[in-house]
Structure 1
């Protein structure tokens, strides 16, 4: 049994990012990771640093995403220097392609309206097919145009998690693997975290960053995590010559040459399976956007579960009944990583949440 000043439940990008920021600041941190038996959102992670379209109806979320994206270049350099792990990070902008003029009109109008309402400019713009072809000559003839945002980018998510955990441990952070937490008790002086076989750890403060697991753990600490699984199906192709210098919203080429594709969103409970109809529909759209992929072999396909709140926005909360307990339930773990490792970790260290953050992302917004 271990004791820590901070126990973080969840060893994915959100939990590891918060732990990284706390450990970097010199705090005693224990990261409790359930292991690969968990419904890891990272299994379906594209590795997109994505801004455009975030916060269409929430300027606070739009600015949160944009601020994090602006911090990504320095954060990636820091993490690579510290860990020695190449992240294959690039921030050359990305396209969200539309297959009809009507779709393009609707999307461009919505994004430009959100741009006007945000404090931090993203540089999003509407572009025609010729502008896309100048960057990706292989773009299909059926593409009407796209929206383009220069803040969008990409990173290798597996290397990212490896580098993040390496840096966390370099700063003195501890990891306990195979630690599935089923119950948390708080008595006002600290917390006892228990698994099936008994007490796993004790801590002065607790941060819930367990993805879908937050739904069951949060009520034990007077918190609320109204999250549900949303399945996405993804596939990756054989390695190809480099031809994508920037990404398309549901297609990106890895540094190794494979092309990762997928756009599906399904209410399938906790079922991570792949289904032929969804993969077929995804392949049809992908090959319409990039016809050169029609005769390329798919080498692997998989399903994964996103962590989704009712409105798709993050849920951040400080417990009113269990001082020292915090909740972070986030769908956009890659994009918001510099925020979680920076300002959010600093706020937890000071035992507070910024008023605008607490107001915009409290679960109380779902009880009207």
Structure 2
């Protein structure tokens, strides 16, 4: 098969994770190529909830709690740099967020988890408050009577999900990234001084590679001596028609986009590979949302879709370089929006420099070998 092209580094996958890394790599001066799949591939990026979320992350994993917090703090710098390269405002809003409880049991669980994360990080995790029903309604008058309280953190926020994806791809082009759609990688062959990546498109040579192919990372990783054990995690999202502003904050399950539509989500199916939405789950999502904000009952749902999260077995990211093929790196995570700032501003420069920092050691996939052999 003839060699068609070459580059300093090829990023396999052009979703939120791959695009953030590719843009960050190009900013260091590397000749960067992105090999992406087709529009109908099972992309996590098409089903993201667009949260820049810290609250409750990192239970029994303090390194993840602090990694998420650090990325949220970097987001204003990231958004400004992205706007400078793309001309697109991603509508970053970091006014804090609520996690609503519809029972005392839920409120107690929220409080216990946040207290544990604070203790495990020696108080360095994101700040939070546990609010009573009265305190919640004082801050958010439209909240319904079924809400018994909430957790609030000022560290959380959200962005415009479609604009973020567009901005990353526009910024990649601005930095000279060679983006190739419909270039699904079928095989990776380590060769002298690099890697051959092959598919229906032919063959491309890259001196280094980054696997950021979402759920396909599990298949590709083994070709270069890496390990990416994933689990099925399907989620659904409902979107309402546009309406007047409900609240200037956001929540883990209900957020109003800057354009007015309300997004509703908070489901997980682990035993299916079907991409179709489940109407019973949609009904549960809608019912809970209306209990939190009764005024939502007046709105029409205009869109509904499902997608597969990129979720490792323990829910934490994987960042690793292959020991057997040192030019191969992998990045796997569920929180592609929250961690985008870290990926572009921290991880990409480290990959460009040839090695990941020891700070990322807790996210190495070797942790799964330990658990599997124990």
For Structure 1 versus Structure 2, the TM-score category normalised by the shorter chain is over 0.9
Distance 2:246 2:54 in 1: 23
Distance 1:46 1:127 in 2: 24
For the aligned residue pairs, the C-alpha RMSD in angstroms reads 1.4
Question: What SS class does the counterpart of residue 274 from structure 2 fall into?
Answer: coil
* 1:125 equivalent in alignment to 2:117: no
Q: Which of residues 175, 185, 206 is equivalent to 1:181?
A: 185
Distance 2:216 2:109 in 1: 36
* Aligned residue in 1 for 2:156: 152
Q: Which of residues 321, 327, 330 is equivalent to 2:330?
A: 327
Distance 2:366 2:36 in 1: 25
Deviations 1:123-166 (A, max 9, x none): 12211223322332110111111111111000011110111111
- Unpaired runs of 5+ residues, structure 2, are none
* Aligned residue in 2 for 1:57: 60
* Aligned residue in 1 for 2:266: 263
* Aligned residue in 1 for 2:292: 289
Deviations 1:193-239 (A, max 9, x none): 0003531x110001000000101111000001111331111110111
Are the aligned partners of 1:96 and 1:148 in contact in 2 as well (CA < 8 Å)?
Answer: yes
Distance 1:45 1:198 in 2: 31
* 1:107 equivalent in alignment to 2:117: no
Cα drift, residue 278 of structure 1: 0.7
Question: What SS class does the counterpart of residue 233 from structure 2 fall into?
Answer: strand
Distance 1:277 1:206 in 2: 42
* Aligned residue in 1 for 2:146: 142
* Aligned residue in 1 for 2:277: 274
Question: What SS class does the counterpart of residue 24 from structure 2 fall into?
Answer: helix
Distance 1:51 1:359 in 2: 18
* Aligned residue in 1 for 2:171: 167
For these two proteins, the number of residue pairs brought into alignment is 367
Deviations 1:63-92 (A, max 9, x none): 100000001112112212321112111000
Distance 1:329 1:364 in 2: 14
Distance 1:136 1:80 in 2: 32
Are the aligned partners of 1:313 and 1:361 in contact in 2 as well (CA < 8 Å)?
Answer: no
Question: What SS class does the counterpart of residue 310 from structure 2 fall into?
Answer: strand
- Unpaired runs of 5+ residues, structure 1, are none
TM-score when scaled to structure 1? 0.96
Deviations 1:19-72 (A, max 9, x none): 111111111100111121211101211100000111111010011000000011
Are the aligned partners of 1:50 and 1:335 in contact in 2 as well (CA < 8 Å)?
Answer: yes
TM-score when scaled to structure 2? 0.95
